[in-house]
């Protein structure tokens, strides 16, 4: 079956709910990137996510819920910091890791924690409310490749997904920030759309991760493997980027725009919003190498630098 892209109107949502309730998968828009959703506590449905994405079984999934009450029902312990963070940032691009409620079996990867977020995209919320299921949803792309920020990116990466709800381009364009609340000090597991300054304004200090161990071994955030988010072309980060060519594309935030030369805004939020789409465009142009002008080494650029570094890892 090839992917069917539909408008997120009443009929589209109904079709999506039917598939989800039958234990199948549906791709849907979120404000960060498109997700590949399935009933979070159906073994069959979750297995289908791992199969379609070719995702390693040790990498657990984020569970998406409609509201704070639904999140509370999935956890063993709801720390005080979660109240403040949820009140301030949900719905939105912040994923919180809790101790998992003991009655819940593993979501894909079997561990005693659970990552949860309430997405802010109106279509995602409409879908969650209509299906009345917590939805496990990783980014809707083949494992290790670039996350999708449009419905078209989804069908190109995952042609076998039965249904894609088309909600237009994702506004943040980069994945949610993942914060572990099971540690005495909240610990950043993945830098993402929501900046650290905003989080600290609510929690006070947060612990930052060190350099993780190699792939496949135990790590605090299993998804943070070294190579990830990669385009087809070889990506090279450099302080100075030179000329483009038939074989060489450039991604910069300064200088002119041109053939095989993508110019992104010099503001980290605006840069992130178009980053994956720009990498998709350069891949489509058929270049073998993408030279990326290294973004500034400041906290505001943390998530962008993280994704570019992983995309460049070989």
Contact flag: residue 139 with Mg ion (CB under 5 A): yes
6-45 footprint of ligand TXA as x/- string (CB under 6 A): ------------------------x-xx-x----------
Q: Rank residues 28 and 253 by Cβ distance to ligand TXA and give the closer one.
A: 28
List, in sequence order, every beta strand (DSSP E) within 24-129. Answer: 26-28, 35-39, 62-64, 94-99, 113-117
115 bridge partner residues: 62, 97
Assigned token pair, 116 = 């949860």
Distance CA 212, CA 134 (A): 30
Residue 66 interacting with ligand TXA (CB under 6 A): no
The kind and range of the H/E element at 189 are: strand 187-190
Site for ligand TXA contains 60 (CB under 6 A): yes
Element (H, E) at 177: strand 177-180
d(CA 310, CA 235): 10
| Rounded distance between C-alpha atoms, residue 266 and residue 169, angstroms | 20
Question: Least Å distance between CB 180 and ligand TXA?
Answer: 6
289 close to 163: Cβ distance less than 8 angstroms:
no
Site string for ligand TXA, 214-253 (x = CB under 6 A): -------xxxx-----------------------------
Residues 120-139 that bind ligand TXA (CB under 6 A): 137-139
Site for ligand TXA in 75-104 (CB under 6 A): 93, 95, 97
Task: Select the residue interacting with ligand TXA from 24, 42, 150, 176 (CB under 6 A).
Answer: 176
Question: For binding to ligand TXA (CB under 6 A), which residues are involved?
Answer: 30, 32-33, 35, 59-62, 93, 95, 97, 111, 113-115, 119, 137-139, 175-176, 178, 189-190, 221-224
């Amino acid at each position: 079956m090839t992917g069917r892209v539909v408008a997120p109107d009443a009929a589209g949502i109904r079709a999506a709910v039917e598939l989800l309730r039958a234990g199948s998968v549906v791709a849907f828009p979120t404000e960060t990137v498109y997700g590949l959703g399935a009933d979070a506590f159906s073994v069959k449905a979750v297995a289908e996510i791992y199969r379609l994405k070719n995702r390693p079984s040790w990498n657990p999934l984020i569970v998406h819920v409609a509201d704070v009450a639904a999140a509370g029902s999935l956890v063993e312990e709801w720390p005080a910091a979660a109240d403040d963070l949820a009140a301030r940032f949900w719905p939105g691009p912040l994923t919180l890791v809790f101790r998992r409620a003991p009655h819940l079996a593993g979501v894909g990867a079997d561990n005693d924690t659970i990552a949860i977020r309430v997405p802010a995209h109106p279509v995602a919320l409409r879908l969650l409310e209509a299906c009345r299921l917590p939805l496990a949803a990783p980014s809707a792309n083949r494992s290790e490749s670039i996350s999708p920020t449009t419905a078209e990116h989804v069908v190109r990466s995952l042609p076998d997904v039965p249904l894609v709800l088309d909600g237009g381009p994702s506004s943040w364009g980069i994945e949610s920030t993942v914060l572990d609340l099971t540690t005495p000090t909240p610990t950043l597991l993945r830098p993402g759309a929501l900046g650290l300054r905003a989080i600290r304004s609510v929690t006070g200090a947060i612990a930052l991760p060190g350099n993780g161990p190699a792939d496949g071994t135990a790590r605090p955030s299993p998804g943070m493997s070294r190579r990830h988010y990669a385009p087809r072309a070889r990506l090279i980060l450099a302080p100075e980027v030179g000329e483009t060519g038939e074989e060489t594309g450039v991604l910069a935030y300064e200088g002119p725009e041109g053939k095989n030369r993508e110019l992104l805004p010099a503001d980290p939020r605006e840069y992130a919003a178009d980053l994956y789409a720009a990498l998709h465009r350069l891949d489509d142009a058929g270049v073998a190498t993408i030279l990326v002008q290294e973004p500034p080494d400041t906290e505001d650029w943390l998530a962008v630098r993280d994704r570019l570094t992983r995309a460049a890892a070989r």
